[in-house]
A and B are shown apart, each in its own frame.
Chain A
């Protein structure tokens, strides 16, 4: 069964809306969670690394004020896309690692901004 749960799986909303995506580790405590973005027919691009209780580390070119990450507990991280625009439409995927665990991925969130 799934070890990382991501919700929602699909979001369609109007331009200017803020969208929150949740990522939960189900059977283990995730020391680190990662947020990726994937455009069609391209590979995963890491957006940020999130450690529980500390500020996320963003990759170069990713706006931290646009993509807010909160890692409030060892089992939950959230990504909020603020004031989303059509160019933010993409497939967003989280992953989590814990002690003696490979990196497990959530099922992804397909975000469509109209």
Chain B
């Protein structure tokens, strides 16, 4: 089984930076994914890390440390439309590529 923890809610100001942390425990790590989900919609893929380090994609970056069981998603230059839930998901190689999701972090961007 897996334990995936991320904060429940975060609030930030438009134009600022927010970092969402995710810690996990798994027996056969095979990648960590970040998804964005707006209310009432399906998740959309943001980033994928399987090796240690930072992956940058425009305003979004994701970091992974496998030895620490830790990842973060960094959102820069926040925009109002970034208000959403952000889901951390871990893929376990021994489990046929299925993803296990954390509880999600609701980010509220204020003007």
Contact = CB atoms under 8 A, between A and B. Distances in A.
Interface of A: 6, 32, 34, 42-46, 49, 51, 57, 91, 93, 95, 97, 102-108, 110
B73 interface: no
A102 B48 contact: yes
A46 B97 contact: no
Contact of B33 (A46, A91, A103): A103
B42 A46 contact: no
Contacts, number: 50
B103 A32 contact: no
Interface of B: 33, 35, 40-45, 48, 87, 89, 96-104
A23 to B, nearest CB: 11
B100 A46 contact: yes
B74 to A, nearest CB: 19
A80 to B, nearest CB: 20
Q: Which 7 interchain pairs have the tightest Cβ spacing?
A: A105-B42, A108-B42, A43-B104, A43-B101, A44-B101, A43-B103, A107-B42
Nearest to B100: A46
A25 to B, nearest CB: 14
Nearest to B91: A103
B45 A46 contact: no
Contact of B96 (A32, A103, A104, A107): A32
26 contacts: A32-B97, A32-B98, A34-B98, A34-B99, A42-B103, A43-B87, A43-B101, A44-B101, A46-B99, A49-B96, A51-B96, A91-B40, A93-B42, A93-B43, A95-B99, A102-B33, A102-B48, A103-B45, A103-B97, A103-B99, A105-B35, A105-B43, A105-B44, A106-B42, A108-B41, A110-B40
B48 to A, nearest CB: 5
A32 B102 CA distance: 21
A6 B97 CA distance: 21
A102 B97 contact: no
Contacts of A104: 45
A6 B41 CA distance: 12
